[in-house]
Amino acid sequence: MQHAQGARPDPSHGYCTDDVARALMVDLLHQRELGWQAVATSADRNVTFLAEAFEGSTGRFRNLRRWDGMWLDIPGSEDANARALHALAVAIASAPAGTVHDDASALFERAFSTASHVSSLRPRATVILACEAVARMRGFDVVADVYHRVANDLWKSFSGCESDTDWPWPGALVTYENELPPQALIVAGRRLDRPRMVQAGLRVLDWLIDAQTGEDGTLRTIGNAGWWPRGGQAARYDQQPISTTTLLLAAETALEQTADPRYRNAMESAYGWFLGRNDARTPVADPISGAGADGIGPAGVSRNQGAESTLMWLIALEHVRDLRPRNAQATAKPGDAFAAVA
């Protein structure tokens, strides 16, 4: 279910492809810790949902599904389509041989024909990440045409504001998942041997991290009650887990690219946001139950635990595991958010 009242799923809002794609990503991350058999049933269920979401006549994925199975949008959004492609690409790259891998591969091949038909920043960035996942597994030639085309489109959006240090953003409003496009620029620039693209991605990411980091190091993601208009102030609330995890993942990519410790610090700030190092001074997520709250508003942390919020927390948790050894709690320094990683 997309939404919840407290911890109870709310069937009135049904399901969405966005969240199922994220759930498949969580399955694929969890297998590293739990083994494939522990996640195989869930992964198979999620790939089956994506197959049912695919609309052959449009070559796109539908997004919104009522609790009784009726689809409400044909086709779905560019965002949902790109996220489904990305999740399937990661399944191709990381699921073991078998039904899930084979079904994901077949579905990806059917859906990939429309992958370059994207006009917005976030879907373009997500398609690049999907292409990168497949390129690592099957070779660049399989995705080269779409990869080049979408990377060039994304680059055109940012190259026009490359010299604007005050607002290096291709638009008058910064909203959510803002770190996804610069992450994709770094990934694509590295793959295509275009250093200028990599540097642009790093500059935009630095700008976003600086704008959302307080003097005490606390992360304050751009709120959805007004976002951040050019020439104005960034909204303080509501801060959402999706924005926090997106920043964490982009910082991870930048850390891999540069080995600059400030990106590890950014990851730690993002992870700490979930654990209570935030404006509310209250945990947004529970490492024990795995639940994630819907964000931080003026009154504090939301009591609702929707699918997106919980899944973004679980994705963040799995990615910081890579940066912390198993005996982290015994050796951690005071204030190190990664010490909480089990």
* Residue 202: per-residue pLDDT: 98
Residue ranges per structural domain of the chain: 4-120+214-340, 121-211
pLDDT at 329 over 50: no
pLDDT at 328 over 60: no
Q: What is the mean pLDDT of residues 248-274?
A: 97
* Residue 64: per-residue pLDDT: 87
Task: List the beta bridge partners of residue 254.
Answer: none
Percent of the chain with pLDDT over 90: 80
pLDDT at 67 over 90: no
CA distances from 265 to 18, 135, 260 (A): 29, 29, 9
pLDDT at 330 over 70: no
pLDDT at 44 over 80: yes
CA distances from 174 to 89, 209, 234, 298 (A): 28, 13, 9, 20
Q: Please write the tens of the pLDDT for every residue from 94-124.
A: 999 999 999 999 999 999 999 999 999 999 9
pLDDT at 167 over 70: yes
Nearest residue to 226 via CA among 174, 264, 278: 174
Q: Return mean pLDDT, the chain.
A: 91
Q: What does residue 16 show for φ and ψ, rounded to 5 degrees?
A: -145, 150
123 preceded by a cis bond (ω within 30 of 0): no
Nearest residue to 159 via CA among 192, 201, 129: 201
* Residue 7: per-residue pLDDT: 59
294 preceded by a cis bond (ω within 30 of 0): no
Q: What is the mean pLDDT of residues 186-199?
A: 98
* Residue 304: per-residue pLDDT: 87
CA distances from 291 to 6, 20, 31, 107 (A): 10, 16, 19, 30
* Residue 12: per-residue pLDDT: 61
Percent of the chain with pLDDT over 70: 91
- Give the residue with greater pLDDT, 8 vs 186: 186
Q: What 3-state DSSP class applies to 32?
A: helix
Using pLDDT thresholds of 50, 70 and 90, give the confidence band for residue 288.
confident
pLDDT at 342 over 50: no
